[in-house]
Structure 1
């Protein structure tokens, strides 16, 4: 029998970043670039990259455990673990079951979600429905280890991307909270704008993969990609607020996907978000794709900026030209 709907409340947040911090000057020296070139173009000052013996599951587990601790929740009470990642430990099996087992979530189902930069928001939306209808506890993690998918001689991508994980615990609640509005979309005609070309069923690893560097990330049409991302970020934000029947004055904080500083600023202007309502931490953390929003959320909660009862606007645009916006009562 289907249970009566309830509300989904975020009761715990956690995050993890590798200890190894790579500052801009280290990369600018490597590429013989003028001092300050990276920050002027991206707004990023540093990023964390994993050590050779680290995998994405290591960060996901650490972030998940911290979220469970923050929620004061025994891992055995988790019913479902959703891991949003584009860089799993292996192509097969999924990484989420391993993460769940290592955290002690012995009663939980678990699956990976490949939604690129929008992955965490898709996972959060799915988790909210699961909690509301099934009255179960869900742990949502966004984690990526992108430093091993970068071309080391390509400043256009290698200076942007970082490694990180962020996690939230969702529990049933009688208090009106959780998802207020949602908007989503995709432009599949530009599916290949950001991609890793080889290793899938369309183009498997071959003898020339490593020479062609087909296992590494490529990004093309940078100017048009930037303009479309700004437009889509603003559009999906407005659509999510309209779905929630709210105006910007009802939003306490905007947490955009931390793609780069210029994109955040242009999208902020297009969406007409006040600077003081914007969570922009890209200078410190860089772009870790699906991990950026839960990472920023966890840091902002830990630092006392985001508080209970506030209304959040979350927006993301990414590979596959996916886009998603959520309005969430925290």
Structure 2
């Protein structure tokens, strides 16, 4: 990206967390785990679960509304809504048109199923649309994973949570927006994280209810893949963007597991870079963790740090990516 390219700025942020907060002690007691076991292995101390009457759209709408309100953007100005989610209200129809309707938007609206890397992909696609059309784009990432957790599976039970985050993108000054981007995938690891039943390969079946929960058969392998992929993509986009870790304003990684992020930081020189995140108190809400962290930081600090921001994620598929965003 050159300084003459049309700029894209993050004009507004929003987030939503369900009311119910589930602390580690509750899960450790139910699963007969020693006190402190979850925090030691994940860095997570609590997470939020949606109420029984809430669907994914009920999380996405208030997050989107907050971003619009913060940006001072009238709904009729928005040119596109991108909803990054792995847990839509229904397999069909997509949830984005419903969210757009409830927000008073009259624009295009589409779901983007990119797992934990969904927000990074939606952000880049949204920035492209802003540059092409000159219209604001609302990017929402939301997941309701508490209903996709196998209560007996410790590898997923301790990590996943429900949340939504949103960013309103608008035309900005030349040079603002994605400065360098790297998006990648490796379908050889397609089954590393999965919800087996419900698609065309293994449809729902009344006589076969198993396979509806999230599965991660080899957590160690996923851990290693995530560290390697995130470290590689971080190094690549910093090199493409011509910046060193010391020159970054902040690092906004997907909040999967604190040990993963610590290892990535060690391998890339990011240990001293300000890390945006709310993993400790909000757990892993897949694609929602990055915009949730941004919105939370803006609410606490009044804005994002000055300087380039490294945004990155790794998720099921396997898909991953990183972008160096110039504020």
Residue 160 of structure 2 is matched in structure 1 by 161
- Where in structure 2 are there 5+ consecutive unaligned residues? none
Q: In structure 2, how many angstroms separate the alpha carbons of the residues matched to 1:73 and 1:175? A: 21
C-alpha contact 1:5 1:133 (8 A) present in aligned 2 = no
Once the two structures are superposed, residues 222-247 of structure 1 have per-residue CA deviations (whole angstroms, 9 ceiling, x without a partner) of 11211111011111111111221222
Residue 116 of structure 2 is matched in structure 1 by 117
How far did 1:55 drift? 0.7
What are the equivalent positions in structure 2 for 1:87-236 lying under 5 Å apart? 87-106=87-106, 108-210=107-209, 212=210, 214-236=211-233
How far did 1:173 drift? 2.1
Residue aligned with 2:317, SS: helix
C-alpha contact 1:152 1:158 (8 A) present in aligned 2 = yes
Residue 239 of structure 2 is matched in structure 1 by 242
Structure 2 length normalisation: TM-score?
Answer: 0.96
Residue 11 of structure 2 is matched in structure 1 by 11
1:300 and 2:297 aligned: yes
Q: In structure 2, how many angstroms separate the alpha carbons of the residues matched to 1:317 and 1:290? A: 9
Q: In structure 2, how many angstroms separate the alpha carbons of the residues matched to 1:171 and 1:131? A: 6
Q: Kindly report the root-mean-square deviation, in angstroms, between the aligned alpha carbons of the 2 structures.
A: 1.4
Q: In structure 1, how many angstroms separate the alpha carbons of the residues matched to 2:80 and 2:65? A: 14
Residue 63 of structure 1 is matched in structure 2 by 63
C-alpha contact 1:231 1:270 (8 A) present in aligned 2 = no
1:313 and 2:310 aligned: yes
More moved, 266-275 vs 303-312: 303-312
1:289 and 2:286 aligned: yes
C-alpha contact 2:249 2:309 (8 A) present in aligned 1 = yes
- Where in structure 1 are there 5+ consecutive unaligned residues? none
Once the two structures are superposed, residues 32-81 of structure 1 have per-residue CA deviations (whole angstroms, 9 ceiling, x without a partner) of 11111111111100000001000110110000000001101111111100
Q: How many residues align?
A: 324
Q: In structure 2, how many angstroms separate the alpha carbons of the residues matched to 1:259 and 1:305? A: 25
Residue 38 of structure 1 is matched in structure 2 by 38
C-alpha contact 1:19 1:50 (8 A) present in aligned 2 = yes
More moved, 78-87 vs 265-274: 265-274
More moved, 68-77 vs 239-248: 239-248
C-alpha contact 1:17 1:48 (8 A) present in aligned 2 = yes
Q: In structure 2, how many angstroms separate the alpha carbons of the residues matched to 1:36 and 1:91? A: 37
How far did 1:306 drift? 4.6
Relative to structure 1, is the Cα distance of residues 305 and 230 closer, same or farther in structure 2, using a 3 angstrom cutoff? farther
Structure 1 length normalisation: TM-score?
Answer: 0.95
Once the two structures are superposed, residues 240-275 of structure 1 have per-residue CA deviations (whole angstroms, 9 ceiling, x without a partner) of 112212221221101110001111111111121034
How far did 1:310 drift? 2.6
C-alpha contact 2:43 2:259 (8 A) present in aligned 1 = yes
Q: In structure 2, how many angstroms separate the alpha carbons of the residues matched to 1:275 and 1:66? A: 31
Runs of 4+ in 1 over 4 A off after TM superposition: none
Q: In structure 1, how many angstroms separate the alpha carbons of the residues matched to 2:254 and 2:155? A: 18
Q: In structure 2, how many angstroms separate the alpha carbons of the residues matched to 1:316 and 1:145? A: 18
More moved, 64-73 vs 201-210: 201-210
Q: In structure 2, how many angstroms separate the alpha carbons of the residues matched to 1:329 and 1:122? A: 17
Relative to structure 1, is the Cα distance of residues 151 and 7 closer, same or farther in structure 2, using a 3 angstrom cutoff? same
Residue 50 of structure 2 is matched in structure 1 by 50
